[in-house]
Amino acid sequence: MAEENDSYPLHEAVFNNDLKSLSRLLRKHDVGAKDKHGNTALHLAVMLGRKECVQLLLKHDAPVKVKNGLGWTVLAEAVSYGNRPTISSLVRKFRQQSREQMEERRPNLVEALNRINDFYMELKWDFQSWVPLVSRILPSDICKIYKSGANIRLDTTLVDFSDMRWERGDISFIFNGNAEPNESLTVLDNIMKVYQRVRYEESEMEIEDEVDLLMSTDILAAQISTKSISFARAQSGWIFREDKKELVAGQYESELYTVNGLMLESRKRREHLSSDDLQKNKAILESFTKGGNLQNFDQNGVPVRRTSLIPPPEKNVTWQQYINANLNDYPRLGRDLVYKETTKAFKATIAMSSDFPLSVEMLLNVLEVIAPFKHFSKLRDFITFKLPTGFPVKVEIPILPTVTAKITFQQFEFRNNIPKELFETPKHYKEDPTRFPDL
């Protein structure tokens, strides 16, 4: 195993808390390299409580968003360990890296949008549930999308939808591809006549609020598993079976497919939470989603912040024990897990049409722009699967464990006369930086 051990020098230096060696090795080794268990050096530094190693790795731009072989991010492991300064540093670096990645993609995105002819499109969202009482009260929405040059406008009446809570309204999301980064994304509230720019820089207060939220609530990881996903032609008829077809929106001849093997995997950890935390958990989440303050304030008006947890007991695991362990079966390095995993199978259908004038690649570019809306990011993730031939004019996808969304592309037309004013903020609207707290 000596050869295998030698192939992860950054990880071994972190394990041994050898800052001098780590500093030297960072000059010639990939800071984002993973070991056999899928952990980066930053993963190990966080799980082992090596605070100085964490700061040194972040200084060399170690990736924060990356997941290990067990599916946990560096930030998730940091929340479990509970050192507040480390969590704050990781949140700041995550924000910075997200901005940099977006800016890297931006020129290609703008170029791709410019290559598409200008168009107008309507998407209808119908939210459904297998829970009868829930199904009756779920919202529906028709989204209108305008595209002109490198500009996109989305009009919707569904402001937010998450955790069985939604907010109705009348909002417009405007992306100006040729504007400066800090001015390219704007959200209008057409009822209150206010607008908010989707900023790239967060205030110190916003960062610390996010840290408080992370330290006060469950560590969650939910994803649609595509390991066994497959598409089968839907069929009709009792004796003579034939492939089902449908005319979607009265104009798109479509082939119907059943989506098999679609699983929603949800994992929850709460080893960092006290019994008191668990009682407050729901109230904190509700306050945050409504844009309220997470914290109480002291008599001087200063927020009362979460303090670092007492570190977990030292596990005394050696580097040899860790690296020689079976794949993803290494001894727990940080706080002992309090863990729950649920998996739910979903039935879904998709209608693919060769008549739709837009390509899947073009749609993905449009959806990347409006991905800050959570339900649109789910649609984008689904469409990145290897779909059957054609364009997905009607899609059913899981949004929450009990809720499925049916999205229908009910209108599309190329236009060369879309008014420029649609992509401008009305002069009588006032700026409100706090209108949409999740953006």
In a domain, 368, yes or no: no
Q: State the chain's mean pLDDT as an integer.
A: 84
Least confident of 87-96, 162-171, 256-265, 371-380: 162-171
Range of the domain at 75: 2-98+272-284+294-336
pLDDT at site 144: 93
In a domain, 315, yes or no: yes
Say yes or no to pLDDT of 299 above 80. Answer: no
pLDDT at site 4: 44
pLDDT class of 332 with cuts at 50, 70, 90:
very high
pLDDT at site 239: 61
pLDDT at site 386: 80
pLDDT at site 185: 86
N- to C-terminal Cα separation, the chain: 48
- Using CA atoms in the order 213, 217, 218, 219, what is the torsion angle rounded to 10 degrees? 20
pLDDT at site 133: 54
Q: What sections of 319-418 are H helices per DSSP?
A: 319-323, 360-369, 374-383
Quick one: CA dihedral 61, 369, 127, 280, positive or negative? positive
Whole-number Å distance between alpha carbons of 63 and 156: 35
Say yes or no to pLDDT of 161 above 60. Answer: no
- The reply to whether the predicted model has a pTM over 0.85 is no
Whole-number Å distance between alpha carbons of 409 and 249: 7
Burial degree of 197 (CB within 10 A; 0-12, 13-18, 19+) = middle
Concatenate the DSSP letters of all residues of 191-202 into one string. Answer: TTTEEEE--S--
Amino acid (1-letter code) at residue 181: P
**Number of Cβ within a 10 Å radius of residue 151:** 24
18 Cβ contact partners less than 8 Å away, ≥ 6 residues apart: none
pLDDT at site 428: 95
Q: What sections of 146-236 are H helices per DSSP?
A: 204-216
> What CATH number corresponds to the domain at position 77?
1.25.40.20
Structure tokens at 132: 């009868």
Residue range 280-307: average pLDDT? 60
Q: Using a pLDDT cut of 70, give the percent of the chain over it.
A: 84
- pLDDT of 24-37, one tens digit each? 999 999 999 999 99
In a domain, 88, yes or no: yes
pLDDT class of 165 with cuts at 50, 70, 90:
low
For residue 40, the 8-state DSSP code is B
In contact, 188 and 430? CB cutoff 8 Å:
no
Whole-number Å distance between alpha carbons of 378 and 394: 15
Burial degree of 282 (CB within 10 A; 0-12, 13-18, 19+) = exposed
Say yes or no to pLDDT of 240 above 80. Answer: no
In a domain, 10, yes or no: yes
Structure tokens at 162: 């998450």
Structure tokens at 415: 């236009």
pLDDT at site 101: 86
Q: Of 318, 388, 379, 320, nearest to 145 (Cα)?
A: 379
pLDDT at site 229: 83
In a domain, 394, yes or no: no
Q: Using a pLDDT cut of 90, give the percent of the chain over it.
A: 46
Counting the structural domains of the chain, the total is: 1
- pLDDT of 68-123, one tens digit each? 999 999 999 999 999 999 999 999 999 899 888 878 888 888 998 999 999 999 99
pLDDT at site 256: 92
In a domain, 58, yes or no: yes
Helices (H) then strands (E): counts for the chain: 13, 16
Say yes or no to pLDDT of 175 above 80. Answer: yes
Say yes or no to pLDDT of 223 above 80. Answer: no
Say yes or no to pLDDT of 402 above 80. Answer: no
- pLDDT of 349-396, one tens digit each? 899 999 999 999 888 888 887 766 666 777 888 888 788 999 999 998
In a domain, 108, yes or no: no
pLDDT class of 283 with cuts at 50, 70, 90:
low
In a domain, 59, yes or no: yes
Whole-number Å distance between alpha carbons of 276 and 216: 10
Q: Which residue has the higher pLDDT, 258 or 289?
A: 258
Q: Where are the beta strands (DSSP E) in 140-212?
A: 140-148, 151-162, 165-176, 185-189, 194-197
What is the largest distance, in Å, between two alpha-carbon atoms of the chain? 78
Say yes or no to pLDDT of 141 above 60. Answer: yes
In contact, 164 and 157? CB cutoff 8 Å:
no
